[in-house]
Amino acid sequence: MTISTSFTGSIAERLPESIGPETSSPDSGERVARPRRRIVLRLVALVTVIATYSFYRQLRVGAGRDVFSRGLPVEPYRHALSILNIEHALALDFERGLQQVFIGYTAVIQFANAYYSWAHQAMTLGLVAVILLKAPWRQAAKWVGALLLQLPVGLALFRLYPLMPPRLLDAGAPWGGRILSMHRELRPTGIVDTLVTVRGPWSPQPVALDAFTNQFAAMPSLHCGFAMWAGVVWWQWAKGKPWRFVGPLHTAVIFFCVVVTGNHYVLDAVVGWAIALFMLGLTGRFAGIRRWVRSLAGAQIGTASGDVYDVGVQGDSSRIPSTMSTSQ
């Protein structure tokens, strides 16, 4: 009995104090606080994106204020005629034909009006929120960066190339080009403004003459640019999911809506798509360059520290570090 007691006592003396129930690691608090900081930073990033988009909308309005300082919108009208000529040469001038097919279906036009007006922002900002809160940070930064880079390009083109949309070609003054078309003895295009002629429960209110907005920010179509971005990002984010098709479907529906409602030319959509794809490729290239620089820096540090191994020496192959495979 005495031997057993002394034996167990010696074991108890050798046990570390950290095994007891009152043990607490100094890093446990840090591990708990770290995810909270990440969530806060992601929320700050989301608020920053929304604020940037709101600021862009104000600049977008300002980009068209000088159009009326010279009287009637002659420059946007001339640009519209140039776009129509280019589209005719490329066989892309089917805006009027597409609208004529569906103009008799009131429910379709009402849906197009509503989707054009509301789904554009809801889909884009909703996807941005999901990405910033759920995606790996580097991937989220690459995707959201590609979206934000579209904004300055759009603002520059809105100011340098004001463009009268199809729905205003036959409209009267001050927004439309009917007076200008009569002066040049041109026939009406037949394209109607469905936001005015086909009203529905979700249709936006008509633009008041005293509430200035930039009616000539048509080139490029950032509706289509954002929709292309959403289609590509959604397709990558939802890989392996049964609802993966929703993103590309949104891209196609937005294109249909902007054309059938007379808000954009087909060429506007093509340029918007090109800008979105270019920005996605550009941010992806930036990420690739960063990875290459990090790998190059790691190789230089390894060489400077004298990590040279003679693989011809006989011995245990497990002693060769796994980083050797990165040089192949």
User: How many alpha carbons fall within 13 Å on the CB side of residue 162?
Assistant: 21
**Which of 2-6, 208-212, 217-221 has the highest average model confidence (pLDDT)?**
217-221
Of 133-147, 277-291, 301-315, which gets the smallest average pLDDT?
A: 301-315
Alpha-carbon distances of 317 from 57, 311, 314, rounded to whole Å: 62, 8, 8
Alpha-carbon distances of 226 from 118, 120, 223, rounded to whole Å: 13, 8, 5
Within 10 A of 271 (CB to CB), how many other CB atoms are there? 21
DSSP string, 29-54: HHHHHHHHHHHHHHHHHHHHHHHHHH
Query: CB neighbours of 219 closer than 8 A, spacing ≥ 6?
Result: 79, 83, 157, 158, 161, 163, 265, 267, 268, 271
C-alpha closest to that of 229 among 292, 187, 178, 281: 281
For helices 137-148 and 266-304, the axis angle rounded to 10 degrees is 140
Measured CA to CA, the distance from residue 301 to residue 320 in angstroms comes to 18
Q: What percent of the chain has pLDDT over 70?
A: 70
pLDDT at 300: 54
pLDDT at 172: 82
Domains in the chain: boundaries: 73-293
Query: CB neighbours of 39 closer than 8 A, spacing ≥ 6?
Result: 133
Measured CA to CA, the distance from residue 169 to residue 88 in angstroms comes to 16
Helix segments in 167-221, DSSP class H: 178-183, 194-197
Measured CA to CA, the distance from residue 263 to residue 166 in angstroms comes to 6
Alpha-carbon distances of 251 from 126, 144, 157, 177, rounded to whole Å: 15, 17, 22, 30
**Mean pLDDT for the chain overall:** 79
pLDDT at 74: 87
pLDDT in tens, 13-61: 544 444 444 445 555 555 556 677 888 889 999 999 999 999 998 888 8
Alpha-carbon distances of 259 from 169, 269, 288, rounded to whole Å: 14, 9, 37
Measured CA to CA, the distance from residue 269 to residue 223 in angstroms comes to 8
Helix segments in the chain, DSSP class H: 2-14, 28-62, 74-90, 95-102, 106-114, 120-134, 137-148, 150-160, 178-183, 194-197, 222-237, 246-260, 266-304
> Quick one: 205 exposed, middle or buried, by C-beta within 10 A (0-12, 13-18, 19+)?
exposed
pLDDT in tens, 94-133: 999 999 999 999 999 999 999 998 898 899 999 999 999 9
Confidence of residue 11 (pLDDT cuts 50, 70, 90): very low
Confidence of residue 307 (pLDDT cuts 50, 70, 90): very low
